[in-house]
Amino acid sequence: MACLEIGIHGIHPELQQLLGRLHYRTSYGQNILRHSVEVAHLAGMMAAEIGMDQKMAKRGGLLHDIGKAIDHDQEGTHPALGMEVATRYGEPQPVLECIGYHHDDYAGGSLWPVLISAADAISGARPGARRESLEIYIKRLEALERIASTFPGVEKSYAIQAGREIRIMVEHSRVDDARAHDLAGEIARRIEKELQYPGQIRVTVIRETRAVDYAK
């Protein structure tokens, strides 16, 4: 029914079955199948505005979270699992990119993951999409920032994307590139140990050098 609703044809029956499973999954209280249909509609409209293939955008939006149908009984993140199963059933490369990279910075130059990431964010952030209480939401953001601040060399931290990502600014003089990489892993493990949350939380450590002078 979801495929018919957005006018997408030719999706393998096994993928259609996995889409059906998403009807019984939620994220922050939002039904994932309805969310996927919504993302498909949004991605299609945005694709039309910027001259991209509207049908391909809808297809990528509908399937972007397909990995959540199997991530509870298989090892791996839902983008990686989804990309793997979509590859197996012959989905085209733009759709694979939508599935595999909609939560990551993608250096391949393709706009497909960017498009789906934007539609995904709009669907999740719109008023009424999720039933999580404001109090719980604020406590999670505060907890993420508190955990990050306990590590030496951390200057500032910001929980963003409704608590799905924490960005951490470190002191350039105290944290080198190798330590920044290790720090991301240590903070991620600490979050896994201390917090309960749906889905996954991305930990990004940012180390930069700034040279400043003034023309007088």
Query: What is the Cα–Cα distance from 44 to 93, expressed in whole angstroms?
Result: 17
Query: What is the Cα–Cα distance from 45 to 54, expressed in whole angstroms?
Result: 7
- 134-206: what CATH class? alpha beta
DSSP string for 124-188: HHSTTS----HHHHHHHHHHHHHHHHTSTTEEEEEEEGGGTEEEEEE-TTT--HHHHHHHHHHHH
Q: What is residue 45's predicted lDDT score, i.e. its pLDDT?
A: 95
- Which ranges in the chain are annotated with CATH 1.10.3210.10? 2-125
Q: What is residue 106's predicted lDDT score, i.e. its pLDDT?
A: 65
Query: What is the Cα–Cα distance from 47 to 75, expressed in whole angstroms?
Result: 33
CA dihedral 47, 36, 12, 113 (to 10 degrees): 50
Q: What is residue 186's predicted lDDT score, i.e. its pLDDT?
A: 94
CB-count burial class (<10 Å; 0-12, 13-18, 19+) for 47? buried
Q: How far is CA 25 from the centre of its chain?
A: 16
Q: What is residue 132's predicted lDDT score, i.e. its pLDDT?
A: 56
Full-prediction pTM beyond 0.85? no
List the CATH code of the domain at 2-125. Answer: 1.10.3210.10
The answer to whether 96 touches 64, Cβ cutoff 8 Å, is: no
**Residue pLDDT, tens place only, 78-91:** 888 999 999 999 99
Sites in the chain below the pLDDT cut of 70 = 28, 105-107, 125-135, 198
**Residue pLDDT, tens place only, 89-117:** 999 999 999 999 888 766 577 899 999 99
Radius of gyration of the chain (CA): 19
- Which ranges in the chain are annotated with CATH 3.30.300.20? 134-206
